[in-house]
A and B are shown apart, each in its own frame.
Chain A
Amino acid sequence: MGIDVGKFLKNPEYEIKITTFRDIFQVEAQERDRFGKDYEKLSACIVMSKNDMEKMGLKPGDRVKVANNNGSIVVEVRESKRDEPGGVAFMVNSPWSNVLVSDDTGGKGLPDFKNITAKISLVKEEITSLESLMEYFRKLKQV
């Protein structure tokens, strides 16, 4: 039995800027059932330019970990349908994107929801479910 070298090699990490946006299809799914699969599917994703995806060796449908000091999530990669220059990735405003938002407001009461810096890397883990986000909050409650 050989040693699975891949197990010890970490996938490369890249720094990425993320801004959030609104998507009518996700809002529709939220109106109907915010605990449903549609809402999760339309929220737990990151939209990237073709350039950036090539640079980072990512394909549409890949799962990536997006993490910073504020938190960490696993979401699906989607390729932007537009001709994007790259450098900025996009996430739909959702409980997933909010995991990454800093609460450093300078006391002004308004976080930088649309100005996120994070590290992104290819992973095999499952996509972060809404249930797992809820579980996190429920545990907080028990403490």
Chain B
Amino acid sequence: MSTCPGCALLCDDIEVVVESGRIKETRNACRRGAARIKGCINRLAPTIDQKPSDIESAIKKAAGILKDSKSPMLFGFSNSTCEAQVKGIQLAKKLGAMIDDTSSFCQGLLIEKILQKKFRTCTLEDVRNKADVLVYWGSDAQDSQPRHLSRFSYFPRGESRQRGYEEDRIAIAIDVRESNTAKICKGHFYRIQPKGDREFILALIDALSGKVPAYEPKKILELAAILKKAEFGVIFVGIGLTYSIKEDFDILVSLADKLPNFQIMPMVGHYNMRGFNENLFKETGFVNRVRFHDTAVHDDKYSIIEALREKSIDALLVAGSDPLSSLTRSLIRHLASIPVICIDPCVTMTSKIAAVTIPCAVSGVESGGTAVRMDGKKIGLSKIIESDYLTDEELLVRLMGAL
């Protein structure tokens, strides 16, 4: 059995058929996972200034860039093993650099609150065994964590949920779009307007407090009645909800306080984003957006978004991420003007403009290690096939050595 590094569900029941060192077939992995395991067609090669090079020279050049930089940032890490993340944090410390990861513009807000124990939370095994009311809020698990409903939440039989989903569980979707997940929650789909989550939460808090909500009272009261009856409820918070209430995230804490039988679970995309958050939290007490001076300082201005907007960094090391693809165009202007070091298994948009590119193994396929599932459980990754590529962990160690 192997672990799938396709998303933060980290399904560890995958069978992979390997024939003469190559992956022939995957079993049990979803479409997303199978694609990750089978890999990309354009592997990255070592380059300096977009010209072919070798690993040693590329590492040397990268070390030079970082040494010359007055204000470097290390970014990415959500597709890296915990072991590589720890090395990345060490490197940032050594350089006095900023370090941030994709959670900074994804689920960081939520995971921070979970690690600070502002929410009750549980494991996915708890969900399978106990949960009777499931709320997918701003989350389309079917497309982002495709086996979430089948492995843990809705469809499986669990210890206290022996009769299956038809009788023992209710799945609810609250979303702007009738997603594939919402389609499964038929009869319990609540459509909201973009940025309408706050209004919906406030109405729900009213309904749970015995007041008549100002907004869609009939639907909200009906939903509140279902939530009140739950023995073990879970709200799966997707980035739809996180983005929408980012200005006043504490209203979700207020809602959770009104729902004593409910747990909050972050829906995480990248397979080890939560791992980065936990590793940095352990080291500094913060989940992202940190700058190391004598101590670790956390500030929004150390987020990749603000650092690029304020042009406060003069070099960027990217590990296992593609900011050129995932950031807004206006922010990329500064990114294009500074030297970028790109460590990735595949050619990315970012690697195409990087000053230095260093190929690495696909973690969880060509190298093992550990990662943290969306619920906080540590899961072992598998080395499914051999490869000549160095892991990102090894590359970061070498880079540190070259400094």
Taking Cβ atoms with an 8 Å cutoff, the residues of A that contact B are: 17, 19, 21-25, 27-28, 31-36, 70-71, 82-85, 87-88, 90, 93-95, 98-99, 101-103, 105-115, 130, 133-134, 136-138, 140-141, 143
Contacts and interface: CB of A to CB of B under 8 A. Distances in A.
B300 interface: yes
B246 interface: yes
A143 B17 CA distance: 49
A98 B330 CA distance: 9
Interface in B364-399: none
A120 B140 CA distance: 26
A70 B123 CA distance: 41
A8 B39 CA distance: 49
9 contacts: A19-B194, A27-B144, A34-B348, A82-B183, A95-B325, A95-B326, A109-B289, A111-B328, A115-B195
B305 A141 contact: no
B243 interface: yes
A108 B243 CA distance: 12
Nearest to A36: B41
Given A21-B140, A34-B348, A35-B42, A114 B243 contact: yes
A33 B176 contact: no
A32 B105 CA distance: 24
B225 interface: no
B185 to A, nearest CB: 13
A84 B193 CA distance: 12
Contact of B35 (A17, A27, A85, A101): A27
B352 interface: yes
B36 interface: yes
Contacts of B348: 34
Contacts of A24: 30-32, 142-144, 146
A23 B143 contact: yes
Contacts of B325: 34, 94-95, 98
Interface in B208-229: none
A23 B193 CA distance: 20
A36 B41 CA distance: 10
B117 interface: no
Given A24-B31, A109-B306, A103 B246 contact: no
B74 to A, nearest CB: 16
Contacts of B18: none
Contacts of A19: 176-177, 194
Contacts of B105: 109-111, 113
Interface in B125-147: 140, 142-144, 146
B191 to A, nearest CB: 7
Given A33-B40, A137-B324, A109 B194 contact: no
Contact of B193 (A31, A88, A105, A140): A88
Interface string B139-178: 0101110100000000000000000000000000000111
Contact of B353 (A17, A82, A130, A141): A141
Given A19-B176, A137-B332, 20 more contacts: A21-B143, A27-B32, A27-B144, A31-B40, A34-B322, A34-B348, A35-B347, A36-B41, A84-B178, A85-B191, A88-B177, A94-B325, A95-B326, A99-B329, A101-B329, A109-B303, A110-B104, A110-B305, A115-B194, A138-B353
A98 B328 contact: yes
Contacts of B275: none
B337 interface: yes
Contact of A141 (B178, B336, B346): B336
A71 B329 CA distance: 8
B243 A113 contact: yes
Nearest to A139: B336
A103 B349 contact: no
B326 A98 contact: yes
Contact of B194 (A102, A105, A114): A114
